A and B are shown apart, each in its own frame.
Chain A
Amino acid sequence: ETGVTQTPRHLVMGMTNKKSLKCEQHLGHNAMYWYKQSAKKPLELMFVYSLEERVENNSVPSRFSPECPNSSHLFLHLHTLQPEDSALYLCASSQDTQGWRNEQFFGPGTRLTVL
Chain B
Amino acid sequence: GIQVEQSPPDLILQEGANSTLRCNFSDSVNNLQWFHQNPWGQLINLFYIPSGTKQNGRLSATTVATERYSLLYISSSQTTDSGVYFCAASRYNTDKLIFGTGTRLQVFP
Residues of chain A whose beta carbon lies under 8 Å from any beta carbon of chain B: 2, 31, 33, 37, 41-43, 45, 48, 50, 55-56, 58, 88, 90, 97-100, 102-106, 108-109, 111
Contact = CB atoms under 8 A, between A and B. Distances in A.
B45 A105 contact: yes
A56 B102 contact: no
Contacts of B4: 42
B59 interface: no
B48 A100 contact: yes
B84 to A, nearest CB: 10
Contact of A45 (B30, B42, B97): B97
A106 B100 contact: no
Q: Which of B4, B50, B99 is most buried by chain A, counting CB atoms within 10 A of its CB?
A: B99
Contacts of B44: 2
Given A42-B101, A43-B99, A55-B95, A102 B41 contact: no
A103 B48 contact: yes
Nearest to B86: A43
Interface residues of B, number: 24
Nearest to A101: B31
A88 B102 CA distance: 16
Nearest to A102: B31
B78 interface: no
28 contacts: A2-B45, A31-B95, A33-B97, A42-B86, A42-B99, A42-B100, A43-B86, A43-B99, A45-B96, A45-B97, A48-B96, A50-B95, A55-B95, A56-B95, A58-B96, A97-B95, A98-B95, A100-B30, A102-B30, A102-B90, A102-B95, A103-B31, A103-B45, A104-B97, A105-B45, A106-B42, A108-B40, A111-B41
